[in-house]
Structure 1
Amino acid sequence: MSTPLLLLGDVRRELQADFPNVAEHVVKYAIKSRGIEPVRRFGTMRAWTRQQLPAIRRAIRQTAGK
Structure 2
Amino acid sequence: MRLAENQISLILNTVNQIGGAEIEVFLLGFRLNNSVKDSDIDLLIETSSTLPLLQRAKSYKCNRNRC
User: Scaled by the length of structure 1, what TM-score is found?
Assistant: 0.30
Higher relative contact order at CA 8 Å, sep ≥6: structure 1 or structure 2?
1
